[in-house]
Amino acid sequence: MDSLTHIVAGACIGHLIAGKELGKKALIVGAIANSLPDIDFVASFFLPLISDLLAHRGFTHSFLFIVLCSPLLAWVSTLAFRRAPMTYSRWGFFWAFQCFIHIFIDAFNAYGTAWFEPFSHYRVAFNTMFVADPLFTIWPAIAMVVLFAMGTANKNRTLIAGAALAISGCYLLAGIFFKNIIDRRVQEDLNKMNAGAGRYFSTPTPLNNILWYVVAQHDSGYYIGYRSLFDNQPTHFRFVCRNATLLNNAPNKNDIDKLIRFSNGFYTVEKVHDTLKFNDLRFGEILGWQDSVSHCVFYYYPEHPDANELIVQRGRFAKWDGQTFRNFLRRIAGR
């Protein structure tokens, strides 16, 4: 999830765990603790770009990282907050729980989270929530502001923090429920096309969990479509070829292997003005729900590494304007 979500969720959780002992400091320490796994951003300063993609949400988002870091951070916290009536074990739980919530929430979107590093490179991705969803984040954000403004003696503080997290939790559960509905309907449509036996994934489109982007692998390519919970018609698909053979003569095979691993095998290759372009399908398309010739949000030029400074979510909202947003809302509504 985005950094704001981790900050506000961490602040609310921090109050619930240690608000009585730390007061408003629990909000700040909680926001820091919940953001800690994203310390992997420092890898971008010294790792090659493709390696950085695999490092992000890698070891610092694993269970082993939590096990190793929580005892150390608990010891540091007991020294930094000597006057607070917090035991070492309580601090250990504080840090471990905050980091766990971080990697747990991150697993609900498409990037994938390496819970089991370094023992397994498998990335957990439930694909039920967009990486930034205001309907999930708004409630703990409001609660955090209110908690900072409230006096520490107010008896409603715990209720406010708990209610905000509960609402966001219900939204998370709703995404799982909606995904099951979408997957069932899409699989029915694929079966009617005799195209339902291959690998498949669905993930929400930006800022909502009503309109979903779906990709089904079939033979030499993929069926790509969009499905709203309110759609009354069968899913409309278009077929896109993988063109994997175009990579046979690509430079730096090691980078290509990393890109394929990062994409979890959901990728296409195309030539744009005689230049290879590698597309990771998992992150969706730019206005794909209204444009049949849309471009992937994630793309990489294997032959021109210097042209790949920012390759995830590249141009996600570049073509959005008022009319585009209104069309988007209409598509969400099934029109």
Residues 319 and 307 sit within 8 Å (Cβ to Cβ): no
Domain containing 163 equals: 3-174
pLDDT at 212: 97
207 and 152 in a single domain? The answer is no
102 and 42 in a single domain? The answer is yes
Last residue of a domain, one of 174, 196, 215: 174
How many residues in the chain?
335
185 and 324 in a single domain? The answer is yes
168 and 187 in a single domain? The answer is no
193 and 91 in a single domain? The answer is no
Nearest alpha-carbon partner for 61 in 11, 132, 111, 24: 111
**Chain centre distance of CA 205:** 12
Last residue of a domain, one of 124, 147, 174: 174
Q: Diameter of the chain by CA atoms? A: 68
29 and 87 in a single domain? The answer is yes
Residue 257's Cβ-side half-sphere holds a number of Cα atoms within 13 Å equal to 3
Structure tokens of 195? 């195209």
133 and 224 in a single domain? The answer is no
227 and 310 in a single domain? The answer is yes
Whether the CA torsion 217, 223, 225, 231 is positive or negative: it is negative
32 and 150 in a single domain? The answer is yes
293 and 257 in a single domain? The answer is yes
Domains contained in the chain, number: 2
Query: pLDDT by residue for the chain (335 residues), tens digit each?
Result: 899 999 999 999 999 999 999 999 999 999 999 999 999 988 878 888 888 888 999 999 999 999 999 999 999 999 999 999 999 999 999 999 999 999 999 999 999 999 999 999 999 999 999 998 999 999 999 999 999 999 999 999 999 999 999 999 999 999 999 999 999 999 999 999 988 778 999 999 999 999 999 999 988 899 999 999 999 999 999 999 999 999 998 888 898 999 999 999 999 999 988 889 999 999 999 888 887 777 888 988 888 877 776 555 666 777 788 988 999 999 999 98
20 and 152 in a single domain? The answer is yes
Last residue of a domain, one of 174, 204, 224: 174
pLDDT at 311: 59
C-alpha span between 153 and 168 (Å, rounded): 25
Q: Helices (DSSP H) in the chain: which residue ranges?
A: 3-22, 25-35, 49-55, 63-80, 88-106, 134-149, 157-192, 253-262, 322-332
Residue 326's Cβ-side half-sphere holds a number of Cα atoms within 13 Å equal to 3
The SS3 of residue 285 is: strand
202 and 323 in a single domain? The answer is yes
Bridge pairing between strands 237-241 and 296-300: unpaired
Give me the phi and psi of 269, to 5 degrees please.
-130, 140
> Which residues have C-beta within 8 Å of that of residue 191, sequence separation ≥ 6?
none
Give, rounded to a whole angstrom, the gap between the first and last alpha carbons of the chain: 29
C-alpha span between 110 and 28 (Å, rounded): 28
